[in-house]
Amino acid sequence: MDAIISVSKAEMDAIVGVFKSKKIPVYEPEDEEYQRSVAVANLLYRFTRPSCVVQPENSSQVQTIVKEAKQRNIPITIKNGGHSYAGFSTTDNGILLDLLRMKKVNLDMESKTVTLEGGARWGNAYSKLVSGRHDGYIINGGRCPTVGVSGFILGGGLGPFTRSFGMGCDSLLEATIVTSDGKEITLKDSGNPKSDEDRLFWALRGAGGGNFGVVVGLKMSVQKLQNKEGMVVAGIYMWSPKLKDMDEFMTAMKDFYTTNWETQMTIDSSWVCDLQQTTSDLAVRFLVYYDGSKDDFDNLIDRSVKHKDLAKNLKRRSLAEKSTRFLHETLASQWLEEIIKSTPSSSKRSYAIYSSFVFKNNKKTIESATAIIRDEMKIFRGKFAGEKALLQVTWIHSGGEASKKKREATAFRWRDCIYHTYIMLQWDEKWLEKDMRGFLEKFKEKLRPFSMMGRAVFINFPDMAMQQNTHERAYFGNNRQELQRIKKIWDKDNFFNWNQGVRLPQPKGRTPAPGAEISARMTRMAVSSFTAAGIIEMEGGDDDDRGNPVPLAADEEVLGQEVLVDEQALTDTIAGEHWESGIPRWNKFEGGIYGLNDLGF
Ligand SMILES: Cc1cc2nc3c(=O)[nH]c(=O)nc-3n(C[C@H](O)[C@H](O)[C@H](O)COP(=O)(O)OP(=O)(O)OC[C@H]3O[C@@H](n4cnc5c(N)ncnc54)[C@H](O)[C@@H]3O)c2cc1C
């Protein structure tokens, strides 16, 4: 989502003409390819209509696009897999640069490296390991094969084997980027912390999405799994506790989350409260990935899971298989529901809002967070009985190798996190938006104090309802000042500028006037309440590398007032604004009743 700069039709016509003359694929609203590029799964962004879509075929075309757009001050929004939970790759303003034609992947098993163009998705990468039958090897990528490689890695990237190999961005060896002056540069860690290039490479690993330029190529290391036969263990188990067993269930979940698992084990869990399902209050879906043999997996489960039935079912519903088969089939089937929901052409398109939290797994955090989630699910079921809506809280397992680096090692800061946990609220009818936003606002207010620093959010699970003067702290903590310095070096005119982007350095100690730093779009949203930053008592706050708590003032400077959004007031703002910005059409790539075009719609 971009900051609003108005672009005249004459300017757009001129730049489209330039792209056409240089044979850069460019599409306007009447073109089918345009419809394909702007199609979204989340109905909140259904009317987003950029002035044009470009689909460059190579890096030199990307350079031309950036140079021509910057010269005319026409904003660019970059899209890779289009999976952003907060619509970061949608726009109703300027150019949508869709990288879908740049998806080549080259796997080199001699050097154990993979090079990927900036538009590749994880499925493109995994299929190389699968077709070469490279059992026992993994690329440290995403769970869902349709997620974009760039979008994932530039946000840090939390993969199914992160606990064994670190964040996705820790496997990044090189990145090639077209910067705001239209130059292409290949970056790596040269060992000189003072070089501007090294600092940009640092920034890309956790804060690279949409902030410093267009990443056109990535080089990553290929990792070797532990099991000599090239096997992994993976499975799914859905636990639907009966009402009478809820106390036992809550104890089991607390034990489960406070367990310090061996790094080879990753278990995600989603608490699901689906109003259409009435057999139990809530259910928890466990997704298992284990880097080792089935015997070792079973032993580890027996040693670690106190609840006998849960242990039995986790073992029963997991299977050992070759790692290539896991990549080809299992990973996609574990995430099938999410994949379908995030596919624009799916009949399951719906409205969805998200917020996320960065949890450690100490007793207090886990006890409080699980109790809040349980209560909120009860409230949700009572309040919205009979509606078509879903409340899901997903705990993505982190820690292990990802926690071994220092917080300043990459722009991705939340190294001590054990669970990146996100709330998703999803519903079918637009009239529910206000109620859903109101519900999320209250829910996240209760959970927020337990997130690291009382505010941490993982940028790959972003929250669209954050103000500009708070999002950098939430996503980057104290890495934000260095990011702003790097921004000034590489994008001093702030060409890559959007609502939740890295900003140019901010005057120190300035207390932002309420609403003063809110972008044009956000100003239209009601700003209703204020709180002094840092007054919340924080469980799971930041601590130093030996685990000692760091006082807030020393680690996170307090700038003054932060502005909270009245989320209910955001109702219909996105669709309402986009509706104003152009004549919409039924989009044949978004499922739906696009045949209505024939009737003049
Ligand atoms: C089903 C599903 C499963 C997921 N699983 C995981 C998971 O296991 N781990 C995890 O960490 N995240 C996960 N995510 C979140 C996902 O990693 C992020 O949403 C990620 O940003 C998506 O990347 P994308 O390229 O698909 O999205 P896009 O929406 O295309 O891009 C996301 C952001 O990156 C920017 N960007 C994209 N490409 C470039 C580029 N080449 N150069 C510069 N900026 C660029 C965009 O402008 C936008 O700001 C999941 C999301 C979904 C929907």
Q: Tens digit of pLDDT for each residue in 95-105? A: 999 999 999 99
pLDDT above 80 (res 515): no
pLDDT for position 327: 96
* Residue among 179, 201, 419, 460 to mutate when testing ligand 1 (max atoms within 8 A of CB): 460
pLDDT above 80 (res 53): yes
Tokens of 363: 């007793």
* Residue among 1, 62, 79, 464 to mutate when testing ligand 1 (max atoms within 8 A of CB): 79
Q: What are the chain's domains?
A: 9-101+577-599 (3.30.43.10), 105-224 (3.30.465.10)
The number of the ligand 1 atom at minimal distance from the alpha carbon of 461 is 15
> Distance between CA 493 and CA 463 in Å, rounded?
26
pLDDT above 50 (res 530): no
Average pLDDT, the chain: 88
Q: How confident is the model at residue 437 (pLDDT cuts 50, 70, 90)?
A: very high
**Atom 9 of ligand 1, residue of closest alpha carbon:** 158
pLDDT above 50 (res 439): yes
**Atom 45 of ligand 1, residue of closest alpha carbon:** 209
Q: Is the dihedral of CA 409, 411, 417, 420 positive or negative?
A: negative
Which of 246-260, 305-319, 496-510 is the least confident region?
496-510
Collapsing DSSP to helix, strand or coil, 223 comes out as strand
* Residue among 78, 121, 177, 461 to mutate when testing ligand 1 (max atoms within 8 A of CB): 78
Average pLDDT over residues 564-582: 77
* 82 ligand 1 Cβ < 6 A: yes
Which of 68-82, 372-386, 556-570 is the least confident region?
556-570
The number of the ligand 1 atom at minimal distance from the alpha carbon of 146 is 26
> Distance between CA 505 and CA 501 in Å, rounded?
12
Q: Higher model confidence: residue 546 or residue 257?
A: 257
CA distances to 72, 244, 276, 321, 322 from 240, rounded to whole Å, are: 57, 12, 14, 27, 30
User: Which residue in this structure is represented by tokens 């880097």?
Assistant: 291
The number of the ligand 1 atom at minimal distance from the alpha carbon of 214 is 42
pLDDT digits (tens, 9 = 90+) for 148-159: 999 999 999 999
**Atom 21 of ligand 1, residue of closest alpha carbon:** 151
